[in-house]
Every structure is written in structure tokens, then in C-alpha cells.
Amino acid sequence: MAAHIRKQLPDAEVELVVIKTKGDIMQDVSLVQLGGKGLFIKEIEEALLRGEVDIAVHSMKDVPAELPEELEIAVTPPREDPRDVLISTGNRKLEEMPHGARIGTCSLRRGFQLRNRMPDLEIVPLRGNLDTRIKKLGTEDLAGVIVAAAGMRRMGWVAKISQFIPVEVMLPAVGQGVLGIETRRDDAAVSGAIAFLHDPVTWCEVGAERAFLQRLGGGCQLPIAAYAKKTGEEIAIGGLVGSVDGRVMIRHEMKRAATDFGTLGRELADHILAQGGRAILDQIYIQK
């Protein structure tokens, strides 16, 4: 991102500021146990509000449905691959896994979809950065780990991937593969300067997904997934809510004119809630 800005704005002074968040630091605790929203962005947003940084770059799947009133996602660059991928011992695919195979993931969303499709697998919770999770293939006696394709591509590790999992098999997280650039609402100069990075197709797709998430009131600690795809003047979105054990899953798809992407996301959420999604989410909130 910094390289693109330097190239487009050669007179601008660009400094990278690394900020550790609660989600980055507490690697030995599961995301569900940590609870709350904004685990990977809160400290960054606080620095933005204090004026210590001018823009914040987030993975959109880590961004809660609700933002502080003074901040906004101003730009979404073109989306990277939204799929999940499997990295496995013996280069096996999911359908080739033996009974009882141990599969590691840091995601509740991936875990419940795997349990629903392949209940004989053992899902092992993982935390840590991408490299740490991949190394646990050998140290934790795992048959495979599932991570986001986007991260593997950005690291140049595509050769390590055993299988790109189709979205029909494993629906991605809301905003997966999308970077969002957050700015202060009253800083029109900065928002204008980085507007060249914006991709309107990605904005439309992630907008539908986030409208779905907002209606459900969810975050990364809830069993929710959604993926939208714009084709021509239309946009289609698939979404689901599932029980943590994978036994119940409510999934539906809808299509609308692309100009109504927000309405589409909300309508999909309302449909899933009415079909039993509300009862699933209410039960999870009670357990918390």
C-alpha cells in the first residue's frame, strides 16, 4: 500500500507505523474467549483519532459492523482472492482426509462449516500469525490447517497450498480478501489523496456483506459467513448462520440490482433470521 501511495504521490511523506492490537498480542487465547469487537483494530483506531496516524489499513474481515462516529472506511482497493485454502501433510485435499483427521483453524466460521460437511474431522483451534499456524502442521500433529488465500498470496506462498476451497464448500468471512483504508471523517484532504486506490466493485461487494453483518449484529466471534459478487449491473450474495457444533446451518442466496447492495445484505440477513438464524444467535449470546 505504501509503495502505491509513494508512486502516485511522489512528494508525499509516507511513514509506516506498526501498532500492536489486543488480538495480535494475546495469541494464546481463542478469539471467542477474548470476546468483544474490534480486537484487531481498536488500538489502531485510537491512534487515528489522536492524530498520530492519518490512515489506517485494515483487513476488512477484522472490522466490526459499527465504526466510531468520527471515522470511516474511505477506500477499498481491489479484492484479493476471497477463498479459504487448505495446507496439508501429504498434499491431501479435504475430501481425501482420513477419518478423525485433525484440522487446525483460528476461525469459528471455518470450524462449524467443516463440522457440518465432514463431522468425522477433529477441529483444532489455532492462534498465531500465518507462519506460526503453518508450522503447527508439524508440531501439533495436524493433517492440515485452513487459512485465507489472500494472506498466502500476499506472502508469496501459493506453492504451499494443497487446495483452494470453493466458496460453495466454505463460505468466506465478511470482507475476506479486502483491505479497507480508514480515515477521519473530517479529513477530506487525506481521503481525496488516496482515492486513486479505490475500487467501486469491491466497495459494492463488501458493502452488501457488511450490511448483512450489521443486521445480524455479529463479529468474528460468531458463526456467520457471507460472500457477495457483482456481475454487470447485478449483485448476488450468499450468507449463512450456523451452530458452533455444525449440526444446524441456515444458508440462503439473493440477487438484486447492484445499486441496492445495502438493502440486499439486510434482506438476506432478515430472511436467515426468520428461518431460524435468530434462535441460533440467541442461544450463542446466552452461552456467552
- Active site (catalytic) residues: 62
CB 171 within 8 A of CB 144: no
Nearest to 214 by CA among 275, 284, 266, 280: 266
CB 158 within 8 A of CB 59: no
Which three three-digit cell numbers place residue 217? 449484529
Q: How far is CA 12 from CA 4, 15, 195, in A?
A: 12, 10, 15
CB 171 within 8 A of CB 117: no
Amino acid letter, residue 24: D
Nearest to 222 by CA among 231, 212, 237, 232: 212
With residues binned 3-state (H G I as helix, E B as strand, rest as coil), the percentages for the chain, rounded to 5, are: 40, 20, 40
CB 239 within 8 A of CB 267: no
Task: Give the integer Cα–Cα distance in Å for 237 and 205.
Answer: 8
